Amino acid sequence: MVKADSPAAEGQKSPLPSRGPPLALGGSPATVRRSGTQKNIRECCDVATSERDRLRIHVRWMIRRDMPEVLAVEQEAFEFPWSEEDFTRCLRQRNCIGMVAEADDSVVAFMIYELHRNRLHVLNFAVRRSHRRLGIGTQMMGKLAGKLTPERRSRILLEVRERNLPAQLFFRSLGYRAISVLKDFYQDTTEDAYLMQFVPAAEPAIEAQPRRMAG
Ligand SMILES: CC(C)(COP(=O)(O)OP(=O)(O)OC[C@H]1O[C@@H](n2cnc3c(N)ncnc32)[C@H](O)[C@@H]1OP(=O)(O)O)[C@@H](O)C(=O)NCCC(=O)NCCS
């Protein structure tokens, strides 16, 4: 992503393009809970599962009124957050789109991406810290992947800071692969970025049924 890629307490980022990584210290309550005894692990997984089950997420286009909440998620997520002006400058462009995820009437995640002739490019993306590891990021990326078509926009690209291990693991879990290293990509640090790509798996070909010969 031009800028989407590194959590503040969990990373850093800079204004357009790019951000830095979270060295995933801490983590969500669910993550922390998972580090107990076997029993605690079981209990905490149960809690996390029921939390996931209970959570109703609504993904929709971002509107102007979402900006304060989006900025709050942004500031909590990145060490070098985008300013409101960065968002509006980006969203003013015709090929730039904002999406948010709402839970209980508040914005818990957002994504900014660009439409290009043959690909989608994620520029900025974050989930509110209190709502991580609940599948919200996966749902949003799934929504985005649903916009791909083999004939036209057939892949998603984004940049992730080299130290943003949680994001790398997240994207990897969704089938993204690093396809190149972008040297000295960021303005705020000397970090490199991984260019990650998602290409949907081709539908398995339907095997031809063995022809039944007459007679
Ligand atoms: C990266 C981020 C968007 C993930 O969102 P999320 O809603 O927490 O992700 P999900 O709950 O859908 O996670 C799906 C899977 O990704 C992997 N994953 C997600 N976060 C992870 C972490 N911190 N460490 C290791 N693996 C992680 C896990 O396999 C997870 O499945 P599991 O929870 O069943 O183990 C979120 O951590 C975030 O906002 N980070 C800060 C901003 C950022 O780095 N944005 C990306 C910029 S490139």
Q: Could you read off the pLDDT of 115-132 as tens digits, one per residue? A: 999 999 999 999 999 999
CATH code for the domain of 63 = 3.40.630.30
Which atom from ligand 1 is nearest to the alpha carbon of 160? 48
Examine the pLDDT at 159 and tell me if it is beyond 70.
yes
d(CA 93, CA 200): 27
In a domain, 78, yes or no: yes
- Model pTM score: 0.80
What pLDDT is attached to residue 101?
98
Enumerate residues lining ligand 1, CB below 6 A.
Answer: 1, 4-7, 10-11, 22, 24, 27, 77, 125-127, 132-138, 160, 164, 166-167, 169-170, 173
The angle formed by the CA atoms of residues 1, 96 and 93, to the nearest 5 degrees, is 125
Q: Which helix (H) or strand (E) holds 147?
A: none
In a domain, 45, yes or no: no
In a domain, 26, yes or no: no
**Whole domain around residue 180: which residue ranges?**
56-198
In a domain, 1, yes or no: no
In a domain, 69, yes or no: yes
pLDDT in tens, 62-103: 999 999 999 999 999 998 899 999 999 999 999 999 999 999
Domain count, the chain: 1
The strand order across the sheet containing 96-103 reads: 58-61, 96-103, 106-115, 120-127, 156-161, 193-198, 177-182
